[in-house]
Amino acid sequence: MTVSRRALLAAPLAAPAVARAQSWPSGAIRIIVPFAAGGSTDAVARIVSPGLTQRLGVPVVVENRSGAAGSLGTGAVATARPDGNTWLLTFDSHATLPALLPNLPFNLTGDLDPVLLIGGAPYVIAVRPDKPYRNLADIVNAAKARPDAINYGSTGNGTLGHLTMVMLGARAGVRMAHLPYRGGGLAVNDTVAGHVEMMIGSAALVAPQITSGNLRPVVQFGPERLPALRDVPTAIESGFPGLEAEAWWGVFAPHGTPAPMQQRMVTALQESFRDERVNRTMTESQQARLVLGGPEVLRPFLDRQIALWGQVVRDNQVQAD
């Protein structure tokens, strides 16, 4: 049998990698959230981190590194050592980065390995209860009457919430002013305070304020109504067929992170999210539909999202902040 030179060279390198994977984890693990604290991505990371700490036996620390549409924190993970100590828990806008920031200093699909598709929740337009908007038609009519005067907040320029409103404006023939925020919590706070006319965010983000009565949902962008928002029509029901947008959360690792580490993280994540208390928090408080699909689910899903929302960015010449 002939052994290739590449195989001979790889053999001594493989043994240490296997040993590291077998002894992992041996120290604290960082989960980087590429958005400010207070948003739904931050909430999801903090909901699951205690379960990961318990199952992996080491501290699991959530680190917020916001900026540049999420690319700063994402880039920190893409360029991190693939030693199992750094992971990315990110949001749906991850899929817009290649179109929104064509000069990214890293390759979104080449430098990051997909680990787990956690799940998702539909986008929702929400307003203060004292605002006059009771349905999507009210918003469209107000925007037609006062072009560029009706404003809305989102979790950032080029995020799916922003792009959904861009699509709505194009379909309805109206123009609204976009106020991008550096995180979901900031957008929620300003909407509740009345500094912004309305906001669009995932059902997970706005659910606590809806439950408390500080915000009123006007329309949701899922394919069907959420059980917790059964009285709130979808955009499809409101006369915009095909206008759907759902937030999603996923976990990624630096490319080259050993497969045994990735598989152990997948198992720990799935077990943590399936814990009765965590599952209830995600499905009720965060309004999430859990998927918990591994790399074989996340990889093709991400490819579809990149194609879909990248086209919206290009067609509407959306630019990053």
Instruction: Assess whether pLDDT exceeds 70 at residue 180.
Output: yes
Segment 223-236 shows an average pLDDT of 94
In the chain, where the domains are located: 27-120+247-315, 122-229
**Mean confidence (pLDDT) of the chain:** 92
Phi and psi of 39, rounded to 5°?
-85, 180
Domain 122-229 has CATH 3.30.420.40: no
Query: In this structure, what token pair is assigned to residue 89?
Result: 């828990």
27-120+247-315 and 122-229: identical CATH topology: yes
Tens of pLDDT, residue by residue over 107-141, are 999 999 999 999 999 999 999 999 999 999 999 99
- The CATH superfamily label for domain 27-120+247-315 reads Bordetella uptake gene, domain 1 (3.40.190.150)
Instruction: Find the angle CA(79)-CA(85)-CA(86) to the nearest 5 degrees.
Output: 45
Angle at 197 between CA 191 and CA 200, to 5 degrees: 65
Q: Is the pLDDT of residue 7 over 80?
A: no
Confidence (pTM): 0.84
Q: How confident is the model at residue 4 (pLDDT cuts 50, 70, 90)?
A: very low
pLDDT digits (tens, 9 = 90+) for 276-317: 999 999 998 888 899 999 999 999 999 999 999 999 999 998
* Terminal-to-terminal C-alpha distance of the chain: 58
User: Of the candidates 105, 135, 114, which has an alpha carbon nearest to the alpha carbon of residue 254?
Assistant: 114
More confident residue, 6 or 234: 234
User: For the residues 32-42, what does the mean pLDDT come to?
Assistant: 89
Q: Give the pLDDT band of residue 159 (cuts 50, 70, 90).
A: confident
Cα distance between residue 5 and residue 118, in whole Å: 41
SS3 labels along the chain: CCCCHHHHHHHHHHHHHHHHHHHCCCCCEEEEECCCCCCHHHHHHHHHHHHHHHHHCCCEEEEECCCHHHHHHHHHHHCCCCCCCEEEEEEHHHHHHHHHCCCCCCCCCCCEEEEEEEEEEEEEEEECCCCCCCCHHHHHHHHHHCCCCCEEEECCCCCHHHHHHHHHHHHHCCCCEEEECCCHHHHHHHHHHCCCCCEEEEHHHHHHHHHHCCCEEEEECCCCCCHHHCCCCECCCCCCCCCCCEEEEEEEEECCCCHHHHHHHHHHHHHHHHCHHHHHHHHHHCCCEEEEECHHHHHHHHHHHHHHHHHHHHHCCCCCC
